[in-house]
Chain A
Amino acid sequence: MLILDLFKMAIRSLISHKLRTFLTALGIIIGVASVISMISIGEGARQQTLSTISKFGTNIITIKPGQKKSRHVSTGKVDTLILEDATVIEKNVPLITGVAAQVYRSAQLKFGNKNTNTTVRGTGKSYAHLANFELEKGRYFNQQEINASKRVCVLGQTVVKNLFEEANPLGTNIKVDGKNFMVIGTMEPKGALSWFDPDDQIFIPVTTAQKRVFGMDHIQSIDVQAAKIEDLEIIKEDIAQLLRIRHNIPKGKENDFYVQNSSQWLNSWGDAAKTFTYLLGGIAAISLMVGGIGIMNIMLVSVTERTREIGIRKAIGAKKKEILEQFLIESVLISFLGGGVGILLGISISKMVSNIGGWDTIVSTQSILLAFGFSVGIGIFFGFYPANKAANMNPIEALRYE
């Protein structure tokens, strides 16, 4: 029998039991819809985390003093980097577009009768660009002000709110650890992550921070921006070589600094979010599995009900394979139908979650293909046993079945 005829027969049989077909497909519909919507929620969360993190720049290499021992712990001397290291890197390492030396510490700010505690970041003129900060009002400090260790500052948006509320901060003087600083600019808000608010800091020239506020000769980190992400590894090696020479480190001895890039950090966060997506998808897949068992259940009932029909077909010459295909096509059609409706339902659920719940959701083509492929696979897998049972029936007994 031609496959087309088998399809016609399967469709006719499904249509003649509309309610049963729908209820059987419902298991798959719910399964596919939950897989798609859960993965879209997970993906949305992941993308949101990544995009927030990447606001800090993904092509940034950070050099810190000491040695990195494990994930977030560094040991060794903390005063091995100096401002001149940053200058030399900027002059001698190719393929980079900016270098920003940094010192930072938390300090007390005062304006009028308002107080706030925030991070004071002393840095160079490229920092705002490197860290993807946009200027909201005023200007950023220039090289002259850095060279002259001027007491000027640029405020993050959270600080502006805490100290000035609605007032215009430009041109006013605030006290940083008791010293007067003039506000020359404010930054656009970047949005807070749950564990860290990048808007809660102020920026001052690195030399001013070293000499007039913190009283230190060394610097705490150097950020280097690569022109292209692909060059990150080469740049890291160049920097390491250069600094080893500058710091007179003999062969075989460990660096007194370490170099890392933010994309590594990004990756580990991305991986964590991916695990979350897998978890959600996995739980949803279980319901798809239950739907598959529903198909098997109904197909077994259907095979028993149609024992006589199977007997007739065998008597007039249907081969085992043709009976198997007929029932397999039915179960695959059910899961195909369920998969299709499930995809539509899943997409609407994830739209609803993002509209009503305000979460970001991303329905990926992959998740649709995955859920659909999985549901058709389930149709074949769970349809096989009933179909095989039908195909193996003894025609004489099947014909006698009442």
Chain B
Amino acid sequence: MISVKNLSKVYDTGTLTVTALRGVSFKIKKGEFVAIMGPSGSGKSTLMNMLGCLDLPTTGNYRLEDLEISSLKPNQLAEVRNRRIGFVFQSFNLLPRATALENTELPLLYGRVSNSTEIAMNALERVGLKHRANHKPTELSGGEKQRVAIARALVNQPAIILADEPTGNLDSETGEDIMSLFLQLNKENVTLILVTHEEEIALKAQRIIKMKDGRIIKDHLLEATPC
């Protein structure tokens, strides 16, 4: 489903060039749950941006399902993000003035999907927040906010969900809840890629990719762990 070949990214700031990725290659199958780990500066955020189609690699190939991403134009990238990728951020990134339902509905509006309210409501139900649909983010707890964000990521039935430190702003108990929600979704055949530097969180995945200095230093499968 995802195939990354020799991906590298060089940032040119004018005065100095920074190489964030140095030839990364891997494949991810449909329904996999992969954790990407590494210290800050290891290139895992850059890799996330590439996988999330927020940025294009300097060299190398990125294939998502049937699409070669590296050759797409900005508007096509926006479309890919809308249809095939769901984002979950550490700081939730919900629109503060919109209700949970409206936040969930937003990708459908940009995708011009009809029946958007109904579909968004179903997504909220899937994360167990149907009863909070008309609340604004300020009226929701951290865990609830992240659930809304997950509902928003799910709503377009994307090929992959990219989660960047999704439990980083939550207390451990709520973090656990969110992780079980991810595992639940993974069981329903949602492909998950999770970036974290917490070993404990990463261990819940089926596979861990460890990065350092823009390279993959370890890529291994884990035994199935009881949740």
Contacts and interface: CB of A to CB of B under 8 A. Distances in A.
A309 interface: yes
A396 B49 contact: yes
A316 B152 contact: yes
B173 to A, nearest CB: 27
A230 interface: no
A144 interface: no
B106 interface: yes
A312 B98 CA distance: 13
A385 B186 CA distance: 44
A399 B89 contact: yes
B98 to A, nearest CB: 8
A13 B109 contact: no
B97 to A, nearest CB: 6
Interface in B52-99: 52, 54-55, 74-75, 78-79, 81-83, 87, 89, 93-95, 97-98
A1, A313, A316, A320 — which one has the most chain B CB atoms within 10 A of its CB? Answer: A316
Interface string A1-40: 1100100000011001000000000000000000000000
A159 to B, nearest CB: 77
B131 to A, nearest CB: 23
A258 to B, nearest CB: 72
Contacts of A317: 78-79, 81-83, 107, 110-111, 156
DSSP class of A's interface residues: helix, strand, loop or mixed? helix
B111 A309 contact: no
B97 A316 contact: no
Nearest to A308: B93
A222 B73 CA distance: 81
A316 B74 contact: no
B82 A312 contact: no
Contact of B87 (A2, A13, A315, A322): A315
A120 to B, nearest CB: 82
13 contacts: A2-B112, A308-B93, A313-B106, A314-B78, A315-B52, A315-B87, A316-B82, A317-B78, A317-B79, A319-B78, A322-B110, A396-B49, A399-B89
Given A317-B111, A318-B78, 17 more contacts: A5-B109, A12-B98, A308-B93, A314-B54, A315-B54, A316-B81, A316-B107, A317-B81, A317-B107, A318-B110, A319-B78, A320-B75, A320-B78, A396-B49, A399-B54, A399-B89, A399-B93
